[in-house]
Amino acid sequence: MKLCILYVEDNANDQLILKHSLENNLPIDFDLTIASTGKEGLNEVEKKKFDLILLDYMLPAMSGIEFLNELQKRKIQTPIIFVTSKGSEKIAVEAMKLGVIDYIVKDEISSNRLIESIREIITKSSLPDEVDMETAKQIAKLFAESSIMHIDVVETLNSAPKSQIPVEKLVSALKRMVEVGILKANPSRSVVACPSCGSLTASLRLQCPECGDDQLKKGESLEHLTCGNVDFESKFKRGEDVLVCPKCEKKLKMIGVDYRRIKSWYKCSHNHFFGQPVVGFNCCFCKKDFTSEDAMLEMLQEYQLTEKGSDILRLGLLGTGMTKRPEKRLN
């Protein structure tokens, strides 16, 4: 990602000071276009799309305020930082009413104040409207811990790395950031979603197919072929190597002759035995029950930063572990 910045300023020294300040302090690459008059600046804006305009108030033939009025007439909405001299707060307020996002005094051109303003403006303008700066900072910290973020479901929705943001809010923010190209998403796995409310947080329910009871036990089972009784193997045991049917009290003789082994059968609290329970779900959000036939499927995603996203988050979010020291440029 390369920032396109227009600086409308007639003073050659101030032009040079700004250029050096950006080269030394802005953590991502940029392309700086300089216009010495308002007319030149308007011509540049018509020819090229800029990410940011730095606009001096005192310009020959056209003031900064007049320049802003021209931008409004042309419906150009590029973010603008207004540059004024000390004691020009009234002019700055007037500029803010015309759409300027921030203003600085000329003495601050070489300071961190300008760089911080650029960071915040570019980051905010790049984020979707639904994603606030605090959420973006938290997401940047997560990607500082791991290059891939997984969203998964246990009984609640979880993220890895673990987030302080409510996961539903996190997922919504991640989806919007994919839409604007900050992140890319890859399918992870399908999960069940509630057909009533769409929640992904549902608990599994296993039920008896005969009576609907969900108090189940599971274990290795035996069937006594003589009387047809089926029960857990533990119920047949009478001492070491002796098996007796708990229903007819007859001793079992030989597997395959008078009894057979049944693996992993279920028994409900009403003593119904069965091989496969009915699979159902209970929504943890709306508390409604639903069957596997009624369930919806949603695809979970894993997220990665795009090159653009890495630059945007690194630009605007200091102290996240993503910020890298800019390489000094050679003139």
pLDDT band for position 160 (50/70/90)?
low
User: Coil, strand or helix: which one is 88?
Assistant: coil
Q: Quickly count: other Cβ atoms within 10 Å of residue 218's Cβ.
A: 12
pLDDT band for position 27 (50/70/90)?
confident
The whole-number pLDDT of residue 134 equals 84
| pLDDT (tens digit per residue) in 82-94 | 988 766 778 888 8
Residue type, 282: N
Question: Which single residue is written with the structure tokens 């779900």?
Answer: 281
The whole-number pLDDT of residue 316 equals 60
Q: How far, in Å, CA of 35 to CA of 53, rounded?
A: 11
pTM for this one? 0.60
Q: Quickly count: other Cβ atoms within 10 Å of residue 129's Cβ.
A: 8
Q: How far, in Å, CA of 36 to CA of 50, rounded?
A: 17
Nearest to 284 by CA among 160, 166, 157, 147: 157
The whole-number pLDDT of residue 308 equals 87
Q: Could you tell me which residue, 189 or 1, shows the higher pLDDT? A: 189
Domains of the chain and CATH, by start: 3-126 (3.40.50.2300), 209-276 (no CATH)
| pLDDT (tens digit per residue) in 253-292 | 999 999 999 988 999 999 999 999 999 999 988 999 999 9
Cα–Cα separations (whole angstroms), residue 266 to 7, 92, 260: 75, 77, 16
Query: Strands 278-283, 202-207: parallel, antiparallel or unpaired by DSSP?
Result: antiparallel
| pLDDT (tens digit per residue) in 97-150 | 888 999 888 888 887 888 888 888 888 888 888 888 888 888 888 888 888 888
Q: Could you tell me which residue, 305 or 166, shows the higher pLDDT? A: 305
The whole-number pLDDT of residue 216 equals 96
The whole-number pLDDT of residue 327 equals 42
Res. 330: pLDDT tops 90: no
The whole-number pLDDT of residue 25 equals 87
Q: How far, in Å, CA of 313 to CA of 315, rounded?
A: 5
The whole-number pLDDT of residue 138 equals 84
Residue type, 129: D
